[in-house]
Structure 1
Amino acid sequence: MAHPTPLVISNINTALNDSNWDALVIVGQSFDSGLTDELLEEIAKLAEVDKRIGKSEVSFVSDSVKQGRVVLAPTGPLNRYFDDVRRYFDAAKSAAKSLLEMGSVKPLLVVLGNEDVKYQNATVVSYLGFCQTFWQPLEAREALGDSIEPVGLMGLVGENVDAAEASAIANGQYVARDLCGTEPERMAPPRFAEYCVEEFKGTNVEVSVIDDMAKLESEFPLLWSVARASIEVERHQPRVIRLEYTPKGNIEKTLMLVGKGIVYDTGGADLKVGGHMAGMSRDKGGAAAVAGFMKAVSELAPIGVKVVAEIAAVRNSIGAEAFVADEIITGHSGIRVRIGNTDAEGRLVMADLLSKLREEALDEVNPTLFTVATLTGHAARAVGPYTALVENGAAKAANVGSKMVEMGDLIADPCEVSLSRREDYDFVAPKTKADDLLSSNNGASAVTARGHQFPLAFLAIVSGLDKHDIDSEQPLPYVHVDIAGSGIDGGDWQHGKPSAAPVSALIKTFIG
């Protein structure tokens, strides 16, 4: 079963008198307006004997609504400058857990809005909060059956709610959570590719998969270096997956994305030790988000927007064939890369794909390029729980990052922009004439100054995008998206639910 299908009901009286819904959830800052007189009177009387009303979640049985069961889910303060729509998201997540415990399967959601423009998507955001709670891991559904996701339909009370967009975002997030949150054997590279093929079968998204080892070695040498130790295990062999949506009619802009799909990261020869390998099956969160974004694009079928996504699905294994620090490897672009640390593998698997998309972008209409990755612990330290956006000059001039920040804030998928600086390019400059570029230093990114910013410089140079920045004849806007701090609820990379960041921010910025 997928996410619960949203059904929008514009009239609240009609909704509250519909017995087809088996529970009523009301999300808001307070519960003294916006409801029927009878229900408001009942809540007021309850507040006289229960001081939790408006302060913490409360459930009660009511005769004043046909649903019988009522859950009041307070958001907390909404009036301070640092409050945002995530308060609705969090309140809804908590209420959804209560619904599951009480056995509700067809809930009705009423969101008491706020006139502030930053809460304009409060109803959709609350719905997405419910979807986050309702999702269960793919392995759990396969072992226990779809009944562990019992909610198939959900009523949303309100006007000007775009049910189609809400459903598309939720479906995209569902795909992203499936791909990110699955253990390393169930979602090894070939099975990651199989999931994508099956998910987009019969849709408007064309899927192609490169599974020929000789072709991967010749066309994606940096990716191949990371994959080398996995080749001898057939079920761990790498894949490059391409997803392409071409609209009917004229194309006005093109989005081109590369997703980091490290299905398991041992650290390679620079082995993760001290328990830090746990949770590294989620190092494919960037690729998962890219696939989820494509799922939402497929459902919305936007006019005038072409979207191309390429995913590097690779296992960073340890073994006799493992690549090591100090190796010099020539990438797709012809740039000679000296390896600084094999645990900085994500930028390598994306580099060749980005180089190929850069070549394609030169013939596309108004292209913007992205890399999406759980790339650095530094991003989690510096801006977590937000998504870090690092722009090249062309993207900064086009306000790409600032637009994502604005729209992400409105849909509870917040981002922060980090500037790319000259120090970042100096950091990856070669030390000898034997190579053209350093992949990284040999320390952890979390304790490296500008640890999440300098990878953009590496990716720009290794892909050739540095030759297409703002000072060139054909500038190509490029944004590196690091979700290491935002990709998992609560930062628990082993057990937390994937957040599906930045699917909704991308949709609202470029598609919605």
Structure 2
Amino acid sequence: MATPQVQVVATIDELGQHDFDALILVGPEFGNLNDAIDAAIAQGIRVNAGLLASGGVLACVDVPAERLILAPTGPLDRDYDDVRRFYDAARKAADVAVAAGATRPAIMTVHVPNDEQFNQVVAATYFGFAQGLYQPLEAREHFGEELEVVSHVGIIGKADAAWLEAVESGRRVARDLCGTEPERMSPLRFAEYCQDAFAGTSVKVSVVDDQPELEVEYPLLAAVARASFATNQRPCVIRLEYVPEGPIEQTLMLVGKGITYDTGGADLKVGGHMAGMSRDKGGAAGVAGFVKAVAGIQPKGIKVVAELAAVRNNIGETAFVADEIITGRSGKRVRIGNTDAEGRLIMADCLARMVELAPSEKHPMLFTVATLTGHAALAKGPYTALVPNKTAARSGQVDALLTAGELWADPAELSMSRREDFDFVRGRTKADDLLSSNNGPSATTKRGHQFPMAFLVEVSGLGEHQLSSAAPIPYVHVDIAGSGVEGGDWQHGKPTATPVLALAGHYLR
């Protein structure tokens, strides 16, 4: 089943005019709504004293199909409460609604605090509900699309149904691409999924999978994929481009890390750390999801160019190894410090190509998006880490993205780029210009999620476009290693589709 169709209803009194089969109330409390609902809740409390805290299903003659579902957020008046209370409550309510037999539920937020941080509460609640409804691609292909039983979702209040559906379609693409197992979503099948997802849209898709071309245009990526070329896991770069009608005011240029399975390469992941590494393509998945949202909304004034680096870093006799010196697209000579730091390598040449194109674009803004480092998950927990260059930080766009993340339940935190990061990746001899990484785990390396941004700046040529240059280019590295899956469970957790909501909330409104 596709993204559930959204139907906006102005008030609760109009529910009877539509074919809904449940009413879901999401809020910190549930009193003073109408006499019938208040009476049903009072009756429910008499037999279940914990109802207001845990939620559940009640019979109420005044709501569709007599199904009333309570989804409590808990208190909202503490300094640390935010709109995710509604997102999380709605996500749980999805399971309750499906178990109760609802296929066309309506959702209403109630007793929302009068605070600007809840300005997008209706949308955030819908996205949380949709997150709960989502079932993995492999499961849908096995059981059929009817596995997802909810076909319509009613929204009571003010909302843009078309916008919500477009963004959720993008999040669905991101979850499919990130969460699917490594054979079903090998590099070329990742590309095939993208071609299908964007068929008939205004987004142009092209795939570079020719080995000689990849070796010339993307030499660092080709090195990571060296042991994969002769297999069904051979690599590719997927290019996505959206050009709006009318004048262009800004160009967003995004690169996504799409490691379809991360073995660690010759620096093999051991001790059980390989499980879940099929989700190491979450960055490319998030970029594709954002572009899918763009395709649905078709914003004016914004051009979007993306490259998704889809690679499996197989091990084998031809695999690249530490100590190799490989010249990237920019001409920088990179000494390999550890083959398990492969994500920055496969993005490096894609980013270098974006740097080449950026001067001819209108107000370019560059991003790399990746499940890059364990250090980001350790330092930021379940939050996305944004590491901007000074041009991006001074532009105001980073602050705007942080604000959008808070409003749309896709929060991020800022990490600064420092001189130590650039010292860390500087070449150690005359034989090399850059060191890709140290040979220890990022989680135990000081500034383990910041210094990869410095490497990407230097290896791509962005260092020549810093704030003091004649042609500065804003750039933000987005590390979603801590935020890419629910609960930090990389093998079983549901993909979150981050940073689709933050990007859409800022650039597509």
Tell me the TM-score normalised to structure 1 length: 0.98
Report what 2:102 is aligned to: 104
Is 1:376 aligned to residue 373 of structure 2? yes
The SS at the match of 1:67 is helix
- Aligned letter for 1:11? T
1:213-224 correspondence to structure 2 within 5 Å: 213-224=211-222
Contact 2:22 2:63 in 1 (8 A): no
Report what 2:192 is aligned to: 194
Match of 1:359 among 356, 359, 374: 356
Contact 1:32 1:44 in 2 (8 A): no
- Aligned letter for 1:217? E
Distance between the aligned counterparts of 1:203 and 1:25, measured in 2?
Answer: 34
- The alpha carbon displacement at 1:46 in A equals 3.3
Distance between the aligned counterparts of 2:45 and 2:113, measured in 1?
Answer: 22
- The alpha carbon displacement at 1:41 in A equals 3.2
Q: Deviation digits for residues 374-416 of structure 1, max 9, x if unmatched?
A: 0000000000200000000101111222211111000000000
Report what 2:394 is aligned to: 397
Match of 1:178 among 176, 179, 186: 176
Match of 1:500 among 470, 494, 497: 497
1:85-484 correspondence to structure 2 within 5 Å: 85-112=83-110, 113-159=112-158, 161-233=159-231, 235-484=232-481
- Aligned letter for 2:238? I
Q: Deviation digits for residues 417-437 of structure 1, max 9, x if unmatched?
A: 100000000100111111000
- The alpha carbon displacement at 1:47 in A equals 3.1
Instruction: Specify every segment of 5 or more residues in structure 2 that has no aligned partner in the other structure, as ranges.
Output: none
Contact 2:40 2:58 in 1 (8 A): no
Is 1:5 aligned to residue 5 of structure 2? yes
Q: Deviation digits for residues 62-109 of structure 1, max 9, x if unmatched?
A: 112233111111001111111000000110111110111122111111
The SS at the match of 1:197 is helix
1:54-65 correspondence to structure 2 within 5 Å: 54-65=52-63
Instruction: Specify every segment of 5 or more residues in structure 1 that has no aligned partner in the other structure, as ranges.
Output: none
- Aligned letter for 1:200? F
- The alpha carbon displacement at 1:19 in A equals 6.2
Contact 2:8 2:161 in 1 (8 A): yes
Distance between the aligned counterparts of 1:503 and 1:128, measured in 2?
Answer: 11
Distance between the aligned counterparts of 2:68 and 2:287, measured in 1?
Answer: 37
The SS at the match of 1:311 is strand
Q: Deviation digits for residues 477-509 of structure 1, max 9, x if unmatched?
A: 000000000000000000110000000100111
Contact 2:36 2:60 in 1 (8 A): no
The SS at the match of 2:205 is strand
Distance between the aligned counterparts of 2:43 and 2:105, measured in 1?
Answer: 24
Is 1:489 aligned to residue 467 of structure 2? no
- Aligned letter for 1:283? D
Contact 1:13 1:36 in 2 (8 A): no
Deviates more, 1:399-408 or 1:83-92: 399-408
Distance between the aligned counterparts of 2:391 and 2:382, measured in 1?
Answer: 26
Contact 1:26 1:111 in 2 (8 A): yes
- The alpha carbon displacement at 1:461 in A equals 0.2
Runs of 4+ residues deviating >6 angstroms: none
Contact 1:390 1:417 in 2 (8 A): yes
Distance between the aligned counterparts of 1:347 and 1:65, measured in 2?
Answer: 53
- The alpha carbon displacement at 1:20 in A equals 1.6
Distance between the aligned counterparts of 1:157 and 1:21, measured in 2?
Answer: 12
Contact 2:369 2:480 in 1 (8 A): yes
Report what 1:67 is aligned to: 65
Distance between the aligned counterparts of 1:78 and 1:105, measured in 2?
Answer: 29
Q: Deviation digits for residues 162-190 of structure 1, max 9, x if unmatched?
A: 21221111110000000000000100011
Distance between the aligned counterparts of 2:209 and 2:417, measured in 1?
Answer: 35
Contact 1:428 1:440 in 2 (8 A): yes
- Aligned letter for 2:470? E
